[in-house]
Each structure stands twice: as C-alpha cells, then as structure tokens.
C-alpha cells in the first residue's frame, strides 16, 4: 500500500531517475493541464464533438499513468473508444463526472506531495 490513496507515484519516481525537480515539474504540469483537458471534454460534450473527447482522453491516459491513477487510465480508454468511434456516447457524461471527482481527490494528494518536495 502506497503513501497515498488516490495516486501512486512509484512509476513517476522510476521515470525521474532520482530527480526531485523532474517530479515537481511533472506534477505541476499535470495540475495545470488536467483540469483544462477535463474542461475541454465537458465543453465538447455540450457540442457533441465526440472526436475531441476521444482525442483528449487519449492524451490523458499517459498523464494518469504517470500519477499511478490506474482507474482513470481505464476511464480514459473507454472515453477514447466512445469518442473516436462515436459509439455508446451516452456513457460519456457519467465517465466525465467520475473523472472530475477522481482528479479533485488526486489533486489534494499531489499538492501535499509538492509541499513535501519543496521542503
């Protein structure tokens, strides 16, 4: 069991090759870009632009995998499939809601990690 409940930074630690600056940079980028990406998908949902939702979800998969958010990697995969193929689009709103909550919980832990890295 890791230090956190909603994130697992083991993979990011491996990728960092021991660089705290790198971990800090990636977490900050994640905190900056992920809400923008989720917002973009929500806007696209209103416009029923499924392709954009699929494309953004595709990119988010990698970001979530860096943060050890395996559930969100799976949610992103489903969103990508639904979006790019414009199939089972009725699933999308619930999946996006799930992502909003998961991100909010993860952000708290990521900010805690950032504080520890900066001290």
Partner 1 sequence: MANTLIYLVDDDDLYLKTAVHNLSQNKSFTIKTFTTGEDVLKALSKKPDVIILDYFLDSEKPNAMSGIKVLQEIKQIAPDVEVIMLSGQEDIDVAVNSVKYGAVDYVVKNKSAFIRVQNDIKRVTKTKAKDKDQESFKKFARTMIIFLIFLVIFLILYLIDETLFGLIPSPGEVPPPVEEIPLH
CA 87 to chain centroid, in Å, comes to 22
**Residues 26-55: x/- map of binding to partner 1 (CB under 8 A)?**
x--xx--x------x----------xx-xx
- Measured over the CA atoms of residue 91, residue 92, residue 97 and residue 100, the dihedral's sign is positive
In angstroms, the CA 56 to CA 1 distance is: 30
Indicate which single residue of 5, 59, 87, 91 sits in contact with partner 1 (rule: CB under 8 A): 59
In angstroms, the CA 90 to CA 39 distance is: 18
Indicate which single residue of 13, 22, 45, 105 sits in contact with partner 1 (rule: CB under 8 A): 22
The DSSP element (H or E) to which 101 belongs, if any, is helix 92-118
Q: Is 62 in the site for partner 1 (CB under 8 A)?
A: yes
Task: Rank residues 3 and 59 by Cβ distance to partner 1 and give the closer one.
Answer: 59
Q: Rule CB under 8 A: which residues touch partner 1? A: 11, 14-17, 19, 22, 25-26, 29-30, 33, 40, 51-52, 54-56, 58-59, 61-63, 66, 77
């Amino acid at each position: 069991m890791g230090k956190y409940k909603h994130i697992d930074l083991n993979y990011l630690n491996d990728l960092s090759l021991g660089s705290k600056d790198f971990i800090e940079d990636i977490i900050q980028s994640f905190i900056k870009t992920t809400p923008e990406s989720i917002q973009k998908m929500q806007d696209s949902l209103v416009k029923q632009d499924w392709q954009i939702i699929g494309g953004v979800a595709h990119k988010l998969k990698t970001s979530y995998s860096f943060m050890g958010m395996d559930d969100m990697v799976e949610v992103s995969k489903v969103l990508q499939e639904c979006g790019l193929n414009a199939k089972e689009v009725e699933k999308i709103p619930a999946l996006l809601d799930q992502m909003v909550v998961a991100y909010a919980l993860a952000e708290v832990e990521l900010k805690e990690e950032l504080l520890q890295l900066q001290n």
